[in-house]
């Protein structure tokens, strides 16, 4: 240890000697380069840490958002069988990753109730989102199809959503049930309903929809590939623990 200290003292004396031999201008330039480098590193670190880690669970009441929330956090559907009228919000390491070695980035999950009067809450959390999971009840889809399409339309045409271009996953839930519809069927029906909504909403004066961005390509039948946000469709079952599509979506957009 003493040898290391003596060597360090020698290096310090050599550095002091070298600095005294340099012109003042060169020392100032070197100091400026060091200061700029430190500043760049600080800014880069801040930008990296400021990337959003919030995933918003949205959809109609009864679609299974709360069950999905608990599966992602606890690996269990406890308390998730009752329709929630209150927001569930928590920051946690996904249950799937809790035993993973090394550093794992926590995710902030917000489960926004689907009741119409609580939609303003969705407007509060969307600007902070890294992605949105829109949950659809695959078993009871036909009876709720129009309402689900209207909710999804409001999300996909919202100016804050389009500006940030964060991804949207349509998660067809409860597909383990025999009477559930496939994700392909749900995707096609939603596209048809969204096309109808686009035609009816376009007829409204733009003064009445100031915060709405036009959906799709004018003159063409709507499909999700036309969206400015990347939209994917997956299936699973929250109550049965089949949420791998959502976990993968989260990790694609909130890096561990």
37-51, 115-129, 135-149, 229-243: the lowest-pLDDT one: 37-51
Output the CA–CA distances (angstroms, integers) from residue 156 to 160, 197, 216, in the order listed.
10, 12, 10
62-76, 92-106, 219-233: the lowest-pLDDT one: 92-106
In the chain, how long is the greatest CA-to-CA distance? 84
Q: Where are the domains of the chain?
A: 1-47, 54-253
pLDDT at 49: 46
Q: What is the pLDDT of residues 152-178, one digit of tens each?
A: 999 999 888 888 888 999 999 999 888
| Percentage above 70 pLDDT, the chain | 74
**CATH architecture for segment(s) 54-253:** 3-Layer(aba) Sandwich (3.40)
Transcribe 8-60 into DSSP letters. HHHHHHHHHHHHHHS-HHHHHHHHHHHHHHHHHHHHHHHHHHTS--EEEEEE-
pLDDT at 47: 42
pLDDT at 132: 95
pLDDT at 37: 54
Residues 6+ apart with CB under 8 A from 144: 60, 62, 63, 137
pLDDT at 161: 87
Length of the chain: 256
Interatomic CA distance for residues 39 and 31, integer angstroms = 12
Give residue 115's pLDDT band: very low, low, confident or very high (50, 70, 90).
confident
User: What's this model's pTM, rounded to 2 decimal places?
Assistant: 0.76
| pLDDT at position 228 over 80 | yes
Query: Comparing C-alpha atoms, which of 103, 96, 100 is closest to residue 248?
Result: 96
Q: What is the pLDDT of residues 33-49, one digit of tens each?
A: 555 455 544 544 444 44
| Percentage above 90 pLDDT, the chain | 40
| pLDDT at position 193 over 60 | yes
- Residue 118: CB atoms within 10 Å: 14
3-class DSSP assignment, residue 109? strand
pLDDT at 44: 45
3-class DSSP assignment, residue 230? coil
| pLDDT at position 234 over 90 | yes
51-60, 177-186, 240-249: the lowest-pLDDT one: 51-60
**Tokens coding 131:** 């992605």
Query: Comparing C-alpha atoms, which of 66, 46, 50 is closest to residue 58?
Result: 66
Mean pLDDT value across residues 23-42: 56
Per-range mean pLDDT, top range of 33-37, 40-44, 89-93, 131-135: 131-135
Higher pLDDT: 254 or 191? It is: 191
Interatomic CA distance for residues 228 and 248, integer angstroms = 21
pLDDT at 48: 45
């Amino acid at each position: 240890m003493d040898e290391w200290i003596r060597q360090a003292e020698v290096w310090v004396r050599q550095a002091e000697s070298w600095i005294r031999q340099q012109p003042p201008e060169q020392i100032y330039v070197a100091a400026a380069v060091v200061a700029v480098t430190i500043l760049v590193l600080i800014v880069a670190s801040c930008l990296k840490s400021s990337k959003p880690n919030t995933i918003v669970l949205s959809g109609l009441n009864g679609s299974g958002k709360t069950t999905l929330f608990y599966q992602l956090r606890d690996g269990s559907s406890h308390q998730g069988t009752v329709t929630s009228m209150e927001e569930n919000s928590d920051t946690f390491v996904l249950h799937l990753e809790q035993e993973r070695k090394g550093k794992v980035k926590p995710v902030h999950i917000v489960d926004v109730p689907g009741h119409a009067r609580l939609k303003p809450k969705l407007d509060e959390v969307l600007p902070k989102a890294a992605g949105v999971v829109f949950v659809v009840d695959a078993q009871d889809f036909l009876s709720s199809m129009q309402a689900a399409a209207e909710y999804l339309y409001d999300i996909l045409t919202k100016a804050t959503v389009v500006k940030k271009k964060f991804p949207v996953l349509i998660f067809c839930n409860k597909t383990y049930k025999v009477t559930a519809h496939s994700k392909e069927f749900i995707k096609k029906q939603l596209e048809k309903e969204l096309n109808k909504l686009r035609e009816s909403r376009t007829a409204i004066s733009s003064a009445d929809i100031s915060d709405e961005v036009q959906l799709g390509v004018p003159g063409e039948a709507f499909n999700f590939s036309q969206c400015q946000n990347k939209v994917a469709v997956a299936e699973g079952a929250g109550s049965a623990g089949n949420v791998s599509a959502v976990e993968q979506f989260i990790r694609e957009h909130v890096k561990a």
